[in-house]
Amino acid sequence: MQADAVATGEDVLADGVLADRLSDRAAGLNAAGLHKEAETACREALALVPGHWVAWANLGVALHRQGRHGAAVPVYLDAIRAWPANADACSNLGVALNELWAMAPSLQAHDAAVSLAPQDAQMRANRAMALLMAGRLEEGFAAFEARWELPQPGIPDGLSAVRWQGEALGGRLLFVWDEGGFGDTLQFIRYVRLLLAQGARVALRVQAPLLRLVAQSLPGLEALVSHANPTPAHDLHCPMISLAQAFATSLATVPGETPYLAVDRLQALHWRRVLAPLPGPRVGIVWRGAARPGMVEAQAMDARRSLPLVQLAPILAVPGIDFISLQLGGEAEIAACGETRLLNPMRGMRDFADTASLVAGLDLVISVDSAVAHLAGGLGRPVWVISRFDACWRWLAGRADTPWYPGMRVYRPDAPMAWDKLVERIAEDLAGWRRAWGGSTTRFGAIRMT
């Protein structure tokens, strides 16, 4: 009778070396955005060495970035069981739980990560996101300052050494500069308005496509520049999102008054004439965000928030509504769908000021989580946000409204990418909204014009 084969020490060693290589390869694949291939490499490594905690951790990342948050959670737990002092896996577990809106266990995981690696700024910044989503804004914005210990793109040259922390300015010139995307600027620029209302001297940098909109919305700036301009002279500086911390923002003190953005009167009148043949109600539609090529995580996030236009067919089928595309570059999809009910005026848009003037004449905007949603909210227009399942922190856990924009309603699917059921619900709500619509008498009424 033949004896069973017994693995030798050399076999075990070889398996371990190969598992290490596979896990290292998976990390590289994750960094390149090839998450399915990374998943395969991790599973091969774990078949060789089931207790390989690095492979478990990399597998969690691969699943997580595919939007499979529920599958990532037990994998991160396996990584932690294999090495309880694994701060990275604790932090990643917290992020995954946060994106499942499981706030209490998410914060427990983040607390564990920070206790294991208190000097790690990324883990503290991850914890800050969970605090913000949980509605602990004052604590969360303070903790989010950890991001400045990490490499950050877009920091202006020639900044003064003094960061403003909310102290009295005493006539000193404060330079506020944008960070993040267009949506971040449109959300947090409300604080610049508060500064100006207090008599502060403010110089401001924003992205070039926002220059005209900001100029007409915030008269009284000492200087307004884009990234292409030199940093203006200043005494203190403050990144725009940090204004929320400087103002000690809490849920009770969010400056939610709208409109705080303004449109050009002549442009608004132009769009009033263009849209006059449409009796309404007029509903603007945005179905895709910006992909941001070269930014792996941003691309993965955009894939989880964007929909093909064809998937919005139940919404566009609601009778008695005039639909207007607010999607930049959406012409090909509109043509491919043969969607005749969707007016597309976006081809000639130069910047956000042009889009704002169009939005001013609409009765409702339905948008994925994009800059246009913030634009409509800042203009004081009613807006329904189609949020991805792993919603952005700013929409807060357990809420369908938001203190940031009083006229906003947030729709979130029941599972990642489960758009069909959500779209059907929005279509039903839109039909009810159409029946209750009271006409165009309030159109333009709340819009700030210059």
Which among 121, 106, 244 is positioned nearest to 187, based on CA atoms? 244
Q: Domain check: are 402 and 267 in the same one?
A: yes
pLDDT at residue number 293: 58
Instruction: Find the CATH number of the domain harbouring 241.
Output: 3.40.50
The pTM assigned to this predicted structure is 0.89
pLDDT at residue number 17: 87
Asked whether residue 294 is assigned to any structural domain, the reply reads yes
Q: Domain check: are 194 and 236 in the same one?
A: yes
- Please indicate whether residue 415 or residue 282 has the higher confidence score (pLDDT): 282
Is the pLDDT at 5 greater than 70? The verdict is no
Is the pLDDT at 284 greater than 60? The verdict is yes
Is the pLDDT at 3 greater than 50? The verdict is no
Is the pLDDT at 448 greater than 60? The verdict is yes
pLDDT tens for 305-323 read: 889 999 999 999 999 999 9
Q: Domain check: are 120 and 183 in the same one?
A: no
pLDDT tens for 87-111 read: 999 999 999 999 898 999 999 999 9
- Please indicate whether residue 384 or residue 161 has the higher confidence score (pLDDT): 384
Q: Domain check: are 268 and 248 in the same one?
A: no
pLDDT tens for 16-28 read: 789 999 999 999 9
pLDDT at residue number 11: 47
Band (415; pLDDT cuts 50, 70, 90): confident
Q: Domain check: are 65 and 182 in the same one?
A: no
Rounded to an integer, the average pLDDT of 171-177 is: 97
Total domain count, the chain: 3
Domain boundary among 226, 253, 280: 253
pLDDT at residue number 4: 42
Asked whether residue 163 is assigned to any structural domain, the reply reads no
Band (12; pLDDT cuts 50, 70, 90): very low
Instruction: Find the CATH number of the domain harbouring 115.
Output: 1.25.40.10
Asked whether residue 369 is assigned to any structural domain, the reply reads yes
Percent of the chain scored above 90 by pLDDT?
72
Q: Domain check: are 311 and 206 in the same one?
A: no
Q: Domain check: are 411 and 303 in the same one?
A: yes
Q: Domain check: are 179 and 310 in the same one?
A: no
Is the pLDDT at 9 greater than 70? The verdict is no
Domain hosting 85: range is 11-131
Is the pLDDT at 155 greater than 60? The verdict is yes
Rounded to an integer, the average pLDDT of 136-152 is: 96
Asked whether residue 160 is assigned to any structural domain, the reply reads no
Q: For the packed helices 371-378 and 352-359, what is the interaxial angle rounded to 10 degrees?
A: 60
Asked whether residue 167 is assigned to any structural domain, the reply reads no
pLDDT at residue number 295: 59
Asked whether residue 426 is assigned to any structural domain, the reply reads yes
Asked whether residue 349 is assigned to any structural domain, the reply reads yes
- Please indicate whether residue 6 or residue 351 has the higher confidence score (pLDDT): 351
Q: Domain check: are 267 and 248 in the same one?
A: no
Least confident interval from 71-80, 97-106, 290-299 = 290-299
Q: Domain check: are 208 and 97 in the same one?
A: no
Band (446; pLDDT cuts 50, 70, 90): low
- Please indicate whether residue 289 or residue 261 has the higher confidence score (pLDDT): 261
The top-scoring range by mean pLDDT among 14-23, 411-420, 432-441 is 411-420
Domain boundary among 253, 283, 310: 253
The top-scoring range by mean pLDDT among 207-216, 387-396, 437-446 is 207-216
Q: Domain check: are 316 and 239 in the same one?
A: no
Band (296; pLDDT cuts 50, 70, 90): low
Asked whether residue 144 is assigned to any structural domain, the reply reads no
pLDDT tens for 27-42 read: 999 898 899 999 999 9
pLDDT tens for 111-139 read: 999 999 999 999 999 999 999 999 999 99
Q: Domain check: are 409 and 438 in the same one?
A: yes
Band (386; pLDDT cuts 50, 70, 90): very high
Domain boundary among 196, 231, 253: 253
Q: How much is the mean pLDDT over the chain?
A: 90
Which among 60, 36, 68 is positioned nearest to 389, based on CA atoms? 68
Instruction: Find the CATH number of the domain harbouring 415.
Output: 3.40.50.2000
